[in-house]
Amino acid sequence: MTIFQQRRAMRRCRVATIALLTSAILIKDTRNNVLKLTPPLGKNQTASQDVAMVMKESVQVDTTLIIATVPHDRDHAKALWSHLECLTEKIDRVVVAAPDVDWSRNIVEAIITNFKLQAAINQISVPIIEPAYFDNNRYDVGLWCDALTHYGFSPIDESERYNSSRTTIPQAIFMINDSAFSRINYNNLTDRIVGATKQEHVGHQSSNISRLVTEEHPATSLKLLSLNGRLGRSPPGSKYNWVESVYRGFTPQGLMTFMKHSCTPEAARKCIGSNAGCIVRNFEIPLMGAYPKGEGVEAIYPSFYPSDEEMKDWERRGVNMTGSEKIWGFDQWRMGAKYYQYLVDKFNFPLLKVK
């Protein structure tokens, strides 16, 4: 990696705040006896749809970003810092999951301390940042699972969790590792998972609301969203479809599936002492198959430039691409070559692979 690339990856992620003024109508919140603003009904929008929308928007969602890091060199330490700067604007809590050894603790503590100090000097608010240290015997997936278990998550049945605690604030969980730098301030993945979590939570509030949402205001089925993936191959959910583990977000239902697949005692015994390829083969590529027919699993950008077979599927997802597969072949974004530059130039792609 050139010095220019490192500086570009580590430049300050400035957040531009834009005030959008829209017309609104007043409705009464009967629980708190206060007036709230809500957008007016559209031409084809019914009152019941508006109620569903208001309920969704009133749902509070806790957001946690788990950063799995092994900061054994300068680039991986910089990657951790870049994620703290660029991906936490809408995050409530950051958990830095790292190996439980002295050198790792010293580096992580120094980065967190200096990051908070710089934020205070520049009067920038930051989320809660907590280090957590574990035996690192399964690379990033092991650190993610250890952090989830440490904070009380478990692969229990989702319907049971909602039935036992209807008032629980839903939690959206995001995971990233230190294999890439964050190069810009980026909230798209966060926003989409938070929106899906709200919709998912509203659907569990009562049978009436669930019927209202599914019949008149269809709920999104999104459960797992990755920054990159290979989708569109047949059959859905097959081994040819997979989403990358570099940066992902989960709704509560999506997280339970992830934990059942990757965080059980049986899973924890796999790949101990093996190389990273074992993790990819057992926990990254097969994860999409843990979701029935791959439903609820999405990716924002293609890992590789799509083939003609895949292009229409990506266009339906709103990713319109131009170019020639003959030129780029199997050029993956991680390679930092022509396809990566294309993603940066056209979509302002937010990551840069650590070399």
Quick check: 80 pLDDT over 80? yes
Using pLDDT thresholds of 50, 70 and 90, give the confidence band for residue 127: very high
- pLDDT for position 324: 56
pLDDT category of residue 14 using cuts at 50, 70 and 90: very low
Using one digit for the tens of pLDDT, what is the confidence trace for 22-74? Answer: 222 222 232 333 323 223 334 444 444 444 454 556 789 999 999 999 999 99
Contact 92/63 with Cβ under 8 angstroms?
Answer: yes
The answer to which of 201-205, 266-270, 280-284 has the lowest mean pLDDT is: 201-205
Provide the terminal-to-terminal Cα distance of the chain, rounded to the nearest Å: 6
How high is the pLDDT of residue 157? 54
Per-residue pLDDT band for 328 (boundaries 50, 70, 90) equals: low
Grade residue 316 by pLDDT with cuts at 50, 70 and 90: confident
Give the least confident one: 26-30, 100-104, 245-249, 303-307: 26-30
Q: Give the model's confidence band at 226: pLDDT under 50 very low, under 70 low, under 90 confident, else very high.
A: very high
The share of the chain scoring above pLDDT 90, in percent, equals 46
- At 196 the pLDDT is 95
Comparison of pLDDT for 52 and 310, the residue scoring more? 310
Residue of 162 and 274 predicted with greater confidence: 274
Lowest mean pLDDT among 50-54, 123-127, 151-155, 314-318: 50-54
C-alpha gyration radius of the chain: 21
Looking at per-residue confidence, does 194 or 326 come out higher?
Answer: 194
pLDDT per residue as tens digits for the range 230-244: 886 655 555 568 899
pLDDT at 56: 58
What confidence score (pLDDT) does residue 30 get? Answer: 28
Q: 206 or 330: which carries more pLDDT confidence?
A: 330
d(CA 306, CA 354): 23
Closest CA to 322 of 309, 311, 333: 311
Secondary structure of the chain in HEC code, one letter for each residue: CCHHHHHHHHCCCCCCCCCCCCCCEEEEECCCCEEEEECCCCCCCCHHHHHHHHHHHHCCCEEEEEEECCCCCHHHHHHHHHHHHHCCCCCCEEEEEEECCHHHHHHHHHHHHHHHHHHHHCCCCCCEEEEEEECCCCHHHHHHHHHHHHCCCCCCCHHHHHHHCCCCCCEEEEEEECCEEECCCCCHHHHHHHHHHHHHHHCCCCHHHHHHHHHHCCCCCCCEEEEEEECCCCCCCCCCCEECCCEEEECHHHHHHHHHHHCCHHHHCCCCCCCHHHHHHHHHHHHHHHCHHHCCEEEEEECECCCHHHHHHHHHCCCCCCCCHHHHCCCEHHHCCHHHHHHHHHHCCCEEECC
Say which range, 8-22, 253-267, 306-320, has the weakest mean pLDDT.
8-22
